[in-house]
């Protein structure tokens, strides 16, 4: 049971837990109320429907990432610095919110249209700035030819998947290798950045 004094925050935290566990379709308002330790009437006082509650949670989760991505991709800095900021942001956000990969994967499976609308509205404009800069650097011979979609998918995949598989992989690595998985995740910043830069950078002779 969630132990937070503010009723609305208690509901939001309980909803995050239940939505991650059950998804939007499987979650029930009564289950959220039970998780929050309140009665269902109080839950409906703050949030009249499950959809409205989910929209609030989903928007908060998505804006955490989209705002950072927008700032990183539109800032007037060299593209390699931009990539580093993107990677650092993603890792920092996921370390603070480890439920997010599962949350998004669940939503992608159950309601991809909702996520598509957020991406088109909040992320695509800033991403287009990054893509244009990437194409200029490719034309200038500083970056190896690569489709922007592959670069973005490579970065996201290398960052998100290790967090998404943590419940499965972390216990095994701890038992078999004595590795603290959280330390491993924190190291992803440098590992992913170096991997991406070495893959796309043209070294000047």
* Cβ-based neighbours of 122, under 8 Å, separated by 6 or more: 62, 63, 66, 70
> Residues 75-129: pLDDT tens digits?
899 999 999 998 998 888 888 777 677 777 777 777 777 777 767 766 777 788 8
201 three-class SS: strand
Alpha helix (H) ranges present in 27-180?
A: 29-36, 40-46, 50-74, 79-96, 100-110, 112-118, 124-139, 148-164, 166-177
Domains observed in the chain: 1-48 (1.10.10.60), 58-200 (1.10.357.10)
Please write the tens of the pLDDT for every residue from 40-88. 999 999 998 888 888 787 777 777 777 777 788 888 999 999 999 989 9
> CA-CA distance, 203 to 141, in Å (whole number)?
10
The pTM of this model reads 0.76
Q: Is pLDDT of 137 > 90? A: yes
Q: Which residues contact 112 (CB under 8 A, 6 or more apart)?
A: none
Report d(CA 154, CA 158) in Å as an integer: 6
């Amino acid at each position: 049971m969630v132990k937070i004094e503010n009723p609305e925050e208690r509901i939001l935290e309980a909803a995050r837990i239940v939505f991650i566990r059950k998804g939007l379709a499987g979650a029930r308002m009564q289950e959220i109320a039970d998780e929050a330790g309140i009665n269902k009437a109080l839950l409906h006082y703050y949030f009249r429907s499950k959809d409205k509650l989910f929209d609030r949670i989903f928007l908060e989760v998505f804006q955490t990432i989209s705002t950072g991505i927008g700032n990183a991709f539109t800032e007037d800095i060299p593209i390699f610095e931009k990539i580093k900021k993107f990677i650092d942001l993603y890792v920092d956000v996921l370390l603070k919110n480890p439920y997010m990969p599962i949350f998004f994967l669940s939503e992608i499976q159950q309601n991809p249209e909702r996520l598509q609308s957020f991406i088109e509205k909040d992320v695509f404009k800033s991403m287009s700035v990054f893509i244009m800069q990437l194409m200029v650097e490719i034309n200038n011979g500083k970056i190896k030819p690569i489709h922007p979609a592959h670069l973005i998918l490579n970065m996201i995949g290398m960052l998100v998947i290790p967090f998404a598989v943590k419940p499965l992989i972390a216990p095994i690595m701890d038992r078999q290798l004595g590795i603290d998985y959280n330390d491993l995740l924190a190291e992803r910043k440098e590992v992913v950045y170096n991997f991406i830069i070495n893959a796309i950078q043209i070294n000047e002779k």
